[in-house]
Amino acid sequence: MNEIITLGIETSCDETSASILKGGREILSNIISTQIPLHQKFGGVVPEIASRKHIVNIMPVIDESVRSAGIKLKDINQIAVTYGPGLVGALLVGVSTAKTLAFALDVPLIAVNHLEGHIFANFLTYKELEPPFLSLIVSGGHTALIKMKSYNEFEMIGQSRDDAAGEAFDKIARVMGLPYPGGPEIDKLAKTGNPNAVEFPIAKIEDFDFSFSGLKSAVLNYLNSANMKGESVNYADVAASFQKAVIDALVNKTIEAANKFNFDKIVLAGGVAANSALESTLKTNCEIYGLQFFYPSKILCTDNAAMIACRGFYKSLTNSFADESLNAVPGLRL
């Protein structure tokens, strides 16, 4: 094999994942072992349970990624691993495993920022995509607008001042009695509801920051007050109206930023990118404003190791390698 083979490892939250990438953009395998059913009965991710499950899963997942890629361990040229942001105990499992394997195989180690990984999921979906572009990252832990000038230059121009978009989806879903993770559940329920049924407020913030806590309180107040008055609530309408408010905030700011900074490409990333209404609303707006729109295939939107391997590959091109002192950085920023 004459192209670089990268093993990617991702354990930042509740998915244990390993991927084999050939060159920068060809996925040979992308194994994802999700812990969602395990955490569902607690209504959210329990950090200690997540770490313990990663410990059990990590080697079988790596073995499976190597086997299904049709390669041998000795064919791996480098190892890319998520070292933050995320849950510290969960990250440490991936980081320790990657360091040990890199030492045993005598190959370089690459430390990957999980958020950068989410953006790079798009390079796997679109072989022709190149920076510069404006990226909107919407995940369970982060909401941010990022100018990506080149493969290694990121500038954050706005972020959420409180809850991340995915976090707001998960919290509202929980009070409506929907299982964790709430985003896909609200997405599904909203399809049968009227997005204009309830007018929930969108925070008016002047720069490119976001805020979802006011919206979250407004939905909670609406549900509580209906409950106290003994009125029945149309949950599908509430889901659709809440979702519309989140999407309007995200889409308006993204288009405004693209126009202000003269970007002609918009790249969506992160778990909430899997939301069908967000995808279609952003797509329509991009068409109106003459912008090209990119979003990852569904499986690459949520956490996976292929996006980590891809980010690692591009980092390796600049000789940006980690050493054996690599540690997890739970609060890592871009």
Q: Which residues bind Zn ion (CB under 5 A)?
A: 139, 303
At position 80, the amino acid (one-letter code) is A
CB of 146 to ligand KG4, least distance (A): 14
For residue 275, the partner it binds in ligand KG4, Zn ion, none, with Cβ less than 5 to 8 A by kind, is: ligand KG4
Bridge partners, residue 210, by sequence: 160
* Half-sphere exposure at residue 34, Cβ-oriented, CA atoms within 13 angstroms: 10
CB of 105 to ligand KG4, least distance (A): 28
CB of 128 to ligand KG4, least distance (A): 24
Q: Would you give the DSSP letter of residue 74?
A: G
Judged by CB under 6 A, does residue 272 bind ligand KG4?
yes
Options 163-171, 201-209, 280-288, 308-316: segment touching ligand KG4 (CB under 6 A) = 163-171
Judged by CB under 6 A, does residue 116 bind ligand KG4?
no
- How many residues touch ligand KG4 under the rule CB under 6 A: the total is 19
Closest Cα partner for 166 from 220, 218, 243?
A: 243
- Cβ atoms of residues 94 and 12 within 8 Å: yes
CB of 49 to Zn ion, least distance (A): 18
Quote the tokens at residue 68: 């299904």
CA dist 133 and 283 (Å) reads: 15
Judged by CB under 6 A, does residue 271 bind ligand KG4?
yes
CB of 144 to ligand KG4, least distance (A): 12
CB-nearer residue toward ligand KG4: 66 or 95: 95
Q: Would you give the DSSP letter of residue 75?
A: G
For residue 113, the partner it binds in Zn ion, ligand KG4, none, with Cβ less than 5 to 8 A by kind, is: none
CB-nearer residue toward ligand KG4: 108 or 140: 140
CB of 141 to ligand KG4, least distance (A): 4
- Cβ atoms of residues 79 and 108 within 8 Å: yes
Quote the tokens at residue 330: 């739970």
Number of neighbours of residue 197 by Cβ within 10 angstroms: 14
* Helix, strand, or coil (residue 265): strand
CB of 86 to Zn ion, least distance (A): 8
**Cross-sheet strand order for the sheet of 78-84:** 26-34, 15-22, 5-10, 78-84, 109-113
CB of 103 to Zn ion, least distance (A): 27
For residue 274, the partner it binds in ligand KG4, Zn ion, none, with Cβ less than 5 to 8 A by kind, is: ligand KG4
- Cβ atoms of residues 243 and 190 within 8 Å: yes
Closest Cα partner for 303 from 34, 23, 70, 24?
A: 34
CA dist 322 and 312 (Å) reads: 11
132 burial level (CB within 10 Å; 0-12, 13-18, 19+):
middle
Q: Tell me which of 11, 113, 275, 316 binds ligand KG4, using CB under 6 A.
A: 275
Distance of CA 106 to the CA centre of its chain: 31
CB-nearer residue toward ligand KG4: 131 or 166: 166
For residue 312, the partner it binds in Zn ion, ligand KG4, none, with Cβ less than 5 to 8 A by kind, is: none
Q: What is the pattern of x (binds ligand KG4, CB under 6 A) and - over residues 125-144?
A: --------------xxx---
- Cβ atoms of residues 212 and 172 within 8 Å: no
Q: Tell me which of 302, 312, 314, 332 binds ligand KG4, using CB under 6 A.
A: 302
Q: Tell me which of 303, 307, 313, 326 binds ligand KG4, using CB under 6 A.
A: 303
Q: Tell me which of 151, 169, 212, 263 binds ligand KG4, using CB under 6 A.
A: 169
Residues forming contacts to ligand KG4 in the complex (CB under 6 A) are 13, 139-141, 166, 169-170, 181-184, 187, 270-272, 274-275, 302-303
